[in-house]
Amino acid sequence: MGKETREYYSFVPMNKPKILDCIKEKYGEYEKSNEEYVEGYYKFKNKCFIKVYKDKYKDGKKERNGKILMYGRNEDYQEFREKDMRFNGSHVEESKADSPLISELNFKYQTIGSDESGKGETFKYLVITAAYVDGANDVKRFIKLGVDDSKEIEKKIQIIGKEVTHIHSWDELLKNLDEKKLFVTDCSVTKIITNEEYNKRCCEKGENINDIIKEAHLEVLREVYKNHPNSMIVVDNFYGESKKAIAKFKEELSSGDFPTDSDHIFMTVKADSKIMAVSLASVISVYICNLGYDYVQKVLDDYKKDPEEELLLHSNKKENKKCADEALVEFFLKLKPDLLEDFINKYTKKNFTNVQAAINKMKQK
């Protein structure tokens, strides 16, 4: 098998039946497993393994796609993931029968993809990235690096992010912004909207969040397109099922100083799990978003009442609304009262319902 690395690699297959056939052809029938959601288990003598997870359902609805997890078998990861991407014959945009196949976009075309991170997080900045991938060779290179749907490689985001951006901290990132306040690498352009800017635009000027995201996507896509004209463009769909909004976005992107062919622009759901250019954009956005989060965690020391207390930013994930509101109130009450408003204005998305609920509860107390 060549050199093995003792790391975990995983991906959600787009064509699971064919990938399972490939694994069985290479390794034979899998062992049975007692784990509830594992349907295939290939255990090797050197303690490496491949696990195939079932799709997870709740109340009759699919909650999570089954993934393929590999430990210590980097070459298998590259082989099976590349095969899976080549196997996939679905269109990138279901509403257009003549749109390119996902496999063709990944392996036959120059592609620019864009995605954002931080939209629904109280303390994280909004980060939007467009990334360029030059066909099959780039796809193979990024597969080898481990680039995938960012939700599937959370523990590897930091390693991959450093490798791709060559940036290690928020301060280093700020020093590398260009005159347009964009962060540019050899394969990507990133726009950062801090929570202070977000609050000025949403709360003071009344701008719509989707309009802010749209403008950022347009900006970074145009910047990348300057250097890679005639590329196909794929955007992770942030409009949902609004065909009118999607058509308007395409119209705006295909006009102006750097026009593209609107027939070469596609918006599709879960694009970060289908198109390598979008996967790369997603990974970079998440990595930079995390750097900003780490920066806010550091400045928190200047705001907390007790300098000796270890105070962590409150997460608004995986909590019911009542618990989340109470936890945020408790968090805010540990900050210096005279600096609380400044902290909320600069480092939270203050129009979020949890922030507003916490502010109201503190007023009542």
Find the mean pLDDT for residues 206-217. Answer: 94
Find the mean pLDDT for residues 50-60. Answer: 86
What pLDDT does residue 95 have? 66
Judge residue 244's burial from the number of C-beta atoms within 10 Å of its C-beta, 0-12 exposed, 13-18 middle, 19 or more buried. exposed
In this structure, is the dihedral angle defined by the CA atoms of residues 64, 123, 360 and 329, taken in order, positive or negative?
positive
Find the mean pLDDT for residues 162-183. Answer: 96
Integer Cα distance of 144 and 17 in angstroms: 23
Percent of the chain with pLDDT over 90: 67
Find the mean pLDDT for residues 251-261. Answer: 83
* Res. 137: pLDDT tops 50: yes
Percent of the chain with pLDDT over 70: 95
What pLDDT does residue 291 have? 97
* Res. 1: pLDDT tops 50: no
Find the mean pLDDT for residues 165-182. Answer: 96
* Res. 347: pLDDT tops 80: yes
On whether the pTM is more than 0.85, the answer is yes
- Is residue 213 within 8 Å of 198, Cβ to Cβ? no
Question: Mean of the per-residue pLDDT values for the chain?
Answer: 90
Helices (H), the chain: 16-27, 74-87, 102-107, 135-145, 157-165, 170-175, 195-199, 209-227, 243-253, 276-299, 321-332, 337-347, 353-364
* Res. 57: pLDDT tops 50: yes
* Res. 321: pLDDT tops 60: no
What pLDDT does residue 73 have? 80
Find the mean pLDDT for residues 283-288. Answer: 97
Question: Residue 2: pLDDT band by 50, 70, 90 thresholds?
Answer: very low
